Amino acid sequence: MLDAVLASAYRIDPAEYGILVQVEGATLLWHIDQERSVFILQNAIESLHGLMEKRKKVETSDQTDERELQRLRFLILRKIAAVKPDLIHRLFREKTSHEESKESIVNDWTDEAQAIMSVAADQIEKDPKLAANLAKQSLPFGLVDWAAGGVKDFV
């Protein structure tokens, strides 16, 4: 049944829902077939980027669409962080200078860091070691001013 849903996800309208179906399906599939799950996540992210580019080309003063796409992006980041935080770097890799160290801490507030820290916060009670590990993994993605509200703008 999951295969049938994933196969027809591209036909779902609006496209945002189709992207969400792909991400949910990929996270469900993760423990069974990681390679296929990564492929599905890559397709969903490419669809999201295509949708964002398409919407940028349309001149509008209404920023609601952009805000909704940012929320969708954050939701996808959070789902991926819950499955395997290292995938965020692999799937959302931006073109960066090769001189930058992978282990350096970015001084910006990033969605990627927020998503990983959000999952870490969820794990504090259940598994403090996992939460600490997730927090450490978030550092290369940027700083998160957790005391100032963490993910308040996206949740």
pLDDT in tens, 5-62: 888 888 888 889 999 999 999 999 999 999 999 999 999 999 998 888 888 777 666 6
pLDDT digits (tens, 9 = 90+) for 64-108: 777 888 889 889 988 998 888 888 888 877 433 333 444 454 556
Distance between CA atoms of 15 and 74, rounded to whole angstroms?
A: 16
61 and 5 co-located in one domain: yes
Instruction: Indicate whether 79 and 3 sit together in one domain.
Output: yes
- If asked whether residues 18 and 70 sit together in one domain, one would say yes
- For residues 76 and 61, the answer to whether their CB atoms sit within 8 Å is no
Does one domain contain both 72 and 113?
no
76 and 143 in a single domain? The answer is: no
Pick the closest to residue 154 from 62, 68, 45 (CA basis): 68
Which residue from 84, 72, 88 is spatially nearest to 34, judged by alpha carbons?
A: 84
Q: Is residue 98 part of a domain?
A: no
pTM for this model (two decimals): 0.67
**Count of structural domains within the chain:** 2
| 72, 111: one domain | no
Where is pLDDT greater, at 116 or 77?
77
Is 66 contained in some domain?
Answer: yes
The pLDDT of residue 46: 92
Which domain, by its residues, includes 9?
Answer: 1-84
Q: Is residue 149 part of a domain?
A: yes
Same domain, 5 and 55: yes
Is 116 inside any structural domain? yes
Relative orientation angle of helices 34-57 and 64-83, to the nearest 10 degrees: 170
Do 65 and 15 share a structural domain? yes
Does 70 share its domain with 112? no
68 in Cβ contact with 48 (< 8 Å)? no
Does the residue 111 lie in any domain? Answer: yes
Residue 97 · residue 87 · CB < 8 Å = no
